[in-house]
Every structure is written in C-alpha cells, then in structure tokens.
C-alpha cells in the first residue's frame, strides 16, 4: 500500500506556513479563483459529487446540506464551528494554528456557493493562540482583496468575522451555536425550523465544521473524482485524527478512513504504541461521546460505517483517547458521566435529570459502594434519554448516554468484579448517606 500523502496537514512544519505569502506559493487561493470561474451551481455540484461528509461529528454530506437552502432567499449566513468542545479533540485547533488560510479559502468557496455575504467563525474562548493566528490571516486576506468587496475582481463580496464563545459544550450543537452568536444563552433550539430555513437572525444559515471547510479547496482544485479516490465507500477524502493518552507519540495525524484503530495507536507513522510497556485497556476513538472499543476490537476501521458494527455511535470527531489497564474502569465511567452532567444545558428533563442520575450512580460505584443492579440502572437510564428515543431537543443526551452504556456493556465483567470485591455492606451504608471513603471497616465512621 502506498504511503498516504498529507493533504489537509501538508503545510504543517513548513516555515511561516501561516502567512499568505507561503500559502500562495504552495498553491493557495487557486481553488477560489477556479470556483469564481466555475460558478456557484457548478461548485455546489462538485462538492456534492465528492461526497464530502461533515468532520465535526455527525458526518452529514456538506453538499446536501447546502442544497437545503431556500432557492429564493435574500440573505444567507455561514457559521463555521470551531468550538471543538468534544473531549479529547484538538485537530481543528491545529488546522487553524498551522494553516489558517486553508480554512479561509474553504469558507470563501462555501460562501460563494451558498450566496453568503457574512460568515462567522465560532471559536471557543480558550483558543487564545488560534484566535490571534486566524485574525492575523484574515487581516492579510482583507488587504489582498481576498475577503471584502468584489473579491479577486469578481462580483462576489463577503466578510468573515470571528465570534468567540464562552466554552460551553452544548454550543457545539448548531442551534446552540446560533443562539450564542445572537448574544443569547447557548441553548439549542427546537427543530423544525432547521437552520437552513431559519437560522442565524432568523435567516437561512449553513453550519459546517473547520475540518470540513478545509477539505473544500482541495475538492475544487483537484476535482471530485480525485477526492473520491481516497478512502472506502461512504467515507471519502482525508481525515485528521487526534491521539492522546499514554502513547509514545500523541498528536494529530492525517489518513484515509480505511485506517484501523490499531494502526492509529500502534503504527510507526502514527502514535507508535504504549509508553513504558503499559497495556491497553480500551480506546475512545471518536471523542468520548461515541463510545469505547476494547483492546480486542482495535481492528475497527475508523470510517463512518464500520465503527457502528463495533457498537459505537459513529466516527465522531476522530479524536482517540487511549485508556491503559492501570486506569480503574470505574473512574472512566465516572469521568464520562460527570462531564455530561456538568455540560447539560438543563432545558430537557430527560437530559438534565438523566445525566445527573448517571453521574451520581457512577460516583457511588467509583467510591466503592456500588451494586450490581446499578449497572442495569445505568443502561436503563441511558436508553430513556436523547433524540433517538424522541425525548430531547438536541443530541447531547445521546452523546451522554451512549458512552456510559458502551463502557458498562463492554466492561461488565470488570465492573461486576470490582463491585463484588467491595467491603461487605458498603452499598447499604452509602444509601444511608455514609461515604465509604470515611468508613474504617470496623464500624466507625469519620467526618464526611
């Protein structure tokens, strides 16, 4: 198999890669010029033909999403999701830090195609460095007449602004993002109407992820057929993966989506395996909301389809966190549960209460006071919340419930063994309000 040649990350490590000069020297903005010659309809058709699927988590085809816009609209907005709130995702941040003009060119082509006049890059507040890098690139592009009025001498005009969010996980959901840009509390909206019809300021709106936008210039420059030659059916084009945890080489890697989780974690061109001889227990390969793979499931392909065969919710963001055997699986369960309990916006009863219940149950198990029936209770709660059972406004509760269910089902034996190894009566004392951490085993209780 020929070695994969980087596409989205091809400028990583190139001296002064953030500058307009270097980006243009390496072929930058040629795709924008080509798009302006092709016309909006032809560009949209090419993106749809390329089968570009969103890289932010849902995997919805970008060209199809653009086609949902009403044909007789007067105003269109484009929102680019750079919130990147899914733990442990950091790929979009690096795309901005290393090659901001790639993102800008993608935004401009998408804006031209969708007849957008104003685009907002919604960026989480903690991204101080990416913010300044992208703003400097935007300033360069404005001075070069690549943004603003009559771009490249054409009739196309467009402005791009950065809007900084406050770091809420739920603002990664597209309507929560819209509410935040409008200056409101970042609560997801009831749908319909969908953003393509009534989005930002009540006008037709397109929302795409940073990595998705970065793919667009390459599709236009090289053609849809070239893009379709990369990766397996249904999962075409390059994908940027992030790897964290106790591996020899954590970082960001680009590959076609026929790569397996095993190759990503242990491959010589990727993370190169575990440090200090540690054993792998599991991998959360798509951000934490997609679920977990056991060590014997690592031959799962990281595409949009094969992951589902292994019990995952989807590919997600393609951010893999490696869990070694030295980590207590009860703590994995607790960390997952309490994150979503903290980040639920509270609008929907099933999400607000369900995430809180799961966090309390997981805390009890982690404290050494769990019951075997708690595992069934966690699965039951996870199945009775979310958009999939039709009970919630947004998908946060699906993303909260799925990894809990995944960990419990795949590590049931380990969890039951730890529960059965607890001191006698620990669960009963916890129910009575006695924290097992302060029980000395001899009937004496310390200060709680």
Q: Are residues 356 and 253 in the same domain?
A: no
Please report whether residue 97 resides in a domain: yes
Q: Are residues 83 and 183 in the same domain?
A: yes
Q: Are residues 138 and 212 in the same domain?
A: yes
At 123, is the secondary structure helix, strand, or coil? strand
User: Which residues lie closer than 8 Å to 75 by C-beta, 6 or more apart?
Assistant: 117, 203, 204
Please report whether residue 2 resides in a domain: no
The residue among 324, 345, 364 that closes a domain is 324
Residue-level pLDDT at 13:
94
Q: Are residues 53 and 195 in the same domain?
A: yes
Q: Are residues 182 and 81 in the same domain?
A: yes
What is the longest distance spanned by two Cα atoms in the chain? 83
Q: Are residues 32 and 116 in the same domain?
A: yes
Beta-strand ranges (E) seen in 116-259 are: 118-123, 159-164, 205-209, 238-244, 251-256
Q: Are residues 198 and 109 in the same domain?
A: yes
Per-residue pLDDT of the chain (448 residues; tens, 9 = 90+): 457 899 999 999 999 999 999 999 999 999 999 999 999 999 999 999 999 999 988 889 999 999 999 999 999 999 999 999 999 999 999 999 999 999 999 999 999 999 999 999 999 989 999 999 999 999 999 999 999 999 999 999 999 999 999 889 999 999 999 999 999 999 999 999 999 999 999 999 999 999 999 999 999 999 999 999 999 999 999 999 999 999 999 999 999 999 999 999 999 999 999 999 999 999 999 999 999 999 999 999 999 999 999 999 999 999 999 999 999 999 999 999 999 999 999 999 999 999 999 999 999 999 999 999 999 999 999 999 988 888 899 999 999 999 999 999 999 999 999 999 988 767 676 665 555 554 444 444 444 3
Q: How many domains does the chain have?
A: 3
User: Which residues lie closer than 8 Å to 289 by C-beta, 6 or more apart?
Assistant: 57, 86, 313, 316, 398, 399, 400, 402, 403
Question: By C-alpha distance, which of 375, 383, 336 is closest to 359?
Answer: 336
Please report whether residue 5 resides in a domain: no
Q: Are residues 335 and 316 in the same domain?
A: no
Q: Are residues 96 and 39 in the same domain?
A: yes
The residue among 228, 249, 280 that closes a domain is 228
Instruction: Encode 307-333: b = buried (16+ Cβ within 10 Å), e = exposed.
Output: beebbbbbbbbbbbbbbbeebebbebb
Q: Are residues 317 and 357 in the same domain?
A: no
Please report whether residue 4 resides in a domain: no
Residue-level pLDDT at 239:
97
Please report whether residue 233 resides in a domain: no
Residue-level pLDDT at 365:
96
Question: By C-alpha distance, which of 386, 352, 373 is closest to 420?
Answer: 373
Residue-level pLDDT at 1:
47
Q: Are residues 92 and 168 in the same domain?
A: yes
User: Which domain range does residue 310 map to?
Assistant: 238-324
Please report whether residue 3 resides in a domain: no
The residue among 275, 301, 324 that closes a domain is 324
Q: Are residues 55 and 190 in the same domain?
A: yes
Residues 351, 408 contacting (CB under 8 angstroms): no
Identify any residues that bridge with 429 across adjacent strands, giving them in sequence order. Answer: none
How far is the C-alpha of 216 from the C-alpha of 219, rounded, in Å?
A: 5
What does pTM read for this prediction? 0.92
Q: Which two tokens stand for residue 436?
A: 């097992």
- The CATH number covering residue 334 comes to 1.20.1440.230
φ/ψ (deg, to 5) at 160: -130, 130
């Amino acid at each position: 198999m020929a070695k994969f040649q980087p596409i989205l990350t091809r400028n990583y490590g190139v001296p002064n890669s953030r500058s307009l000069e270097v980006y243009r020297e390496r072929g930058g903005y040629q795709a924008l010029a080509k798009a302006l010659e092709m016309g909006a309809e032809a560009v949209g058709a090419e993106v749809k033909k390329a089968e570009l699927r969103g890289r932010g988590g849902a995997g919805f085809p970008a060209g199809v999403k653009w086609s949902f816009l009403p044909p007789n609209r007067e105003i269109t907005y484009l929102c680019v999701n750079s919130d990147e709130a899914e733990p442990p995702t950091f790929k979009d941040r690096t795309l901005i830090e290393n090659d901001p003009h790639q993102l800008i060119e993608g935004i401009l082509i998408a804006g031209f195609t969708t007849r957008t006049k104003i685009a907002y890059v919604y960026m989480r507040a903690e991204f101080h460095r990416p913010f300044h890098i992208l703003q400097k690139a935007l300033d360069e592009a404005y001075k070069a007449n690549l943004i603003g009025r009559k771009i490249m001498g054409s009739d196309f005009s467009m402005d791009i602004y950065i809007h900084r969010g406050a770091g809420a996980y739920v603002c990664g959901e597209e309507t929560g993002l819209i509410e935040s840009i409008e200056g409101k509390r970042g609560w997801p909206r009831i749908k319909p109407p969908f953003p393509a019809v009534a989005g930002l300021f009540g006008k037709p709106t397109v929302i795409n992820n940073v990595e998705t936008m970065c793919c667009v210039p390459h599709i236009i420059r090289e053609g849809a057929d070239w893009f379709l030659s990369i990766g397996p059916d249904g999962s075409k084009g390059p994908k940027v993966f992030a790897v964290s945890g106790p591996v020899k080489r954590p970082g960001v890697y680009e590959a076609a989506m026929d790569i397996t989780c095993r190759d990503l974690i242990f491959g010589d061109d990727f993370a190169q395996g575990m440090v200090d001889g540690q054993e792998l227990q599991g991998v959360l390969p798509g951000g934490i909301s997609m679920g977990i793979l056991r060590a014997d499931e690592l031959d799962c392909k990281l595409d949009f389809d094969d992951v589902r065969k292994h019990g995952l919710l989807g590919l997600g963001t393609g951010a893999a966190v490696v869990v070694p055997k030295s980590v207590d699986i009860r703590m994995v369960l607790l960390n997952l549960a309490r994150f979503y309990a903290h980040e639920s916006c509270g609008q929907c009863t099933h999400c607000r209460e369900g995430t809180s219940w799961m966090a309390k149950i997981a805390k009890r198990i982690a404290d050494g006071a769990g019951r075997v029936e708690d595992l069934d209770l966690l699965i039951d709660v996870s199945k009775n919340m979310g958009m999939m059972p039709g009970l919630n406004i947004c998908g946060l509760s699906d993303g909260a419930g799925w990894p809990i269910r995944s960990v419990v089902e795949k590590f049931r034996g380990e969890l039951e063994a730890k529960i059965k190894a607890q001191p006698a009566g620990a669960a009963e004392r916890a129910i009575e309000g006695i924290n097992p951490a302060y029980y000395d085993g001899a009937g004496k209780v310390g200060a709680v």
